């Protein structure tokens, strides 16, 4: 398997679905330098031609990721802290811009860098036991892995500022109500539901799904005119593919399409 198991990351490829599990349960999967660098290696190892969806989750029943490693951050200088932030952000951007969709299966605490990691994913599913927060201001710092940027884009500026200024912890039900997560499931059902969603994505034409992710992501940060141009470009790229011909011919002939071939 690409990348294989590392010290802090487990990887599994099940058919078209690549599962990355952060495996440092003794520290509630906190993001140390090693965890982050192995996470990057895992993301880099995803074989896009063979993968139609990625799931990121945390080992154990307690935490998705309880944040960046506080012991590691404690002694940092201003310059080192900026480096640490830029490095984490670079890796999270790799996840955000990975060509295939990424689902965060948030199985417990998603605090600080953990909430930020979930937000770098395309879709967030949470267990009923999940707890979200950006507690950084209570630690004398600010969210440093994209939290000040992505939270407001997901839940609106007012709610984001409230959560960022107060460091309030919210339960999965509130995260659902404010749009931070897409759905909440009993803890024991989370993995299965994440897999079902990944399979549903994987059943669609891969080139079209990838083009959709690119158009949504790139359009989000553009004016509407540029966004429409991005969409038209991606729309065009889907044509003359085997999958487009197969699916449209099947519709016209009133039959089911053949399975998609990613070409």
Query: Would you please indicate which residues are annotated as catalytic (active-site) residues?
Result: 116, 136
Task: Rule CB under 6 A: say whether 113 interacts with ligand DAK.
Answer: yes
What gap in Å lies between CA 41 and CA 189, rounded to an integer?
28
**Residue 28: CB minimum distance to ligand DAK, A:** 4
**Residue 45: CB minimum distance to ligand DAK, A:** 24
42-101 positions binding ligand DAK, by CB under 6 A: 66-71, 81, 84-85, 88
Cα radius of gyration (the chain)? 19
Task: Rule CB under 6 A: say whether 28 interacts with ligand DAK.
Answer: yes
**Residue 131: CB minimum distance to ligand DAK, A:** 8
Closer by beta carbon to ligand DAK, 116 or else 243: 116
What gap in Å lies between CA 76 and CA 22, rounded to an integer?
24
Task: Rule CB under 6 A: say whether 137 interacts with ligand DAK.
Answer: no
SS3 164: helix
**Residue 154: CB minimum distance to ligand DAK, A:** 17
Task: Rule CB under 6 A: say whether 35 interacts with ligand DAK.
Answer: no
Question: Is the CB of residue 115 less than 8 Å from the CB of residue 147?
Answer: yes
From candidates 3, 58, 112, 206, binder to ligand DAK by CB under 6 A = 112
- Measured in degrees and rounded to the nearest 5, phi and psi for residue 156 equal 95, 150
Which tokens belong to 151?
């939270």
Task: Rule CB under 6 A: say whether 38 interacts with ligand DAK.
Answer: no
Nearest partner of 130 among 147, 151, 110, 116, judged by Cα: 110
**Residue 66: CB minimum distance to ligand DAK, A:** 4
Task: Give the DSSP H or E segment for 123.
Answer: strand 123-127
Which tokens belong to 25?
């349960």
Total site size for ligand DAK, rule CB under 6 A: 24
* Alpha-carbon distances of 61 from 6, 17, 24, 129, rounded to whole Å: 20, 22, 12, 9
Closer by beta carbon to ligand DAK, 16 or else 84: 84
Question: Is the CB of residue 147 less than 8 Å from the CB of residue 154?
Answer: no
Binding mask 141-170 for ligand DAK (x = CB under 6 A): x-xxx-------------------------
Residues 6+ apart with CB under 8 A from 171: 130, 131
Residues that bind ligand DAK (CB under 6 A): 27-28, 30, 66-71, 81, 84-85, 88, 109, 111-113, 135-136, 139, 141, 143-145
């Amino acid at each position: 398997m690409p990348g294989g198991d590392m010290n802090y990351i487990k990887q599994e490829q099940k058919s078209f679905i690549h599962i990355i599990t952060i495996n440092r349960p003794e520290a509630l999967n906190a993001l140390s330098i090693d965890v982050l660098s192995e996470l990057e290696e895992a993301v880099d190892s995803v074989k896009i031609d063979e993968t139609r969806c990625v799931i990121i989750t945390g080992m154990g029943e307690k935490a998705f990721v309880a944040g960046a490693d506080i012991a590691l951050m404690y002694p940092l200088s201003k310059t080192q802290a900026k480096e640490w932030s830029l490095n984490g952000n670079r890796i999270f951007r790799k996840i955000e811009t990975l060509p295939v969709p990424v689902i965060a299966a948030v199985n417990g605490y998603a605090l600080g860098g953990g909430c930020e990691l979930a937000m770098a994913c395309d879709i967030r599913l949470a267990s009923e036991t999940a707890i979200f927060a950006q507690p950084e201001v209570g630690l004398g710092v600010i969210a440093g892995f994209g939290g000040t940027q992505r939270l407001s884009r997901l839940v609106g500026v007012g709610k984001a500022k409230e959560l960022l200024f107060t460091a309030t912890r919210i339960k999965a039900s509130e995260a659902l109500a404010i749009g931070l997560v897409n759905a909440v499931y009993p803890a024991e059902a989370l993995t299965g539901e994440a897999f079902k969603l990944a399979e549903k994505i994987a059943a669609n034409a891969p080139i079209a799904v990838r083009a959709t992710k690119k158009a949504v992501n790139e359009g989000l940060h553009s004016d509407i005119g540029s966004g429409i141009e991005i969409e038209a470009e991606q729309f065009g790229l889907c044509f003359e593919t085997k999958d487009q011909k197969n699916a449209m011919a099947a519709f016209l002939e009133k039959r089911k399409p053949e399975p998609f071939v990613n070409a």
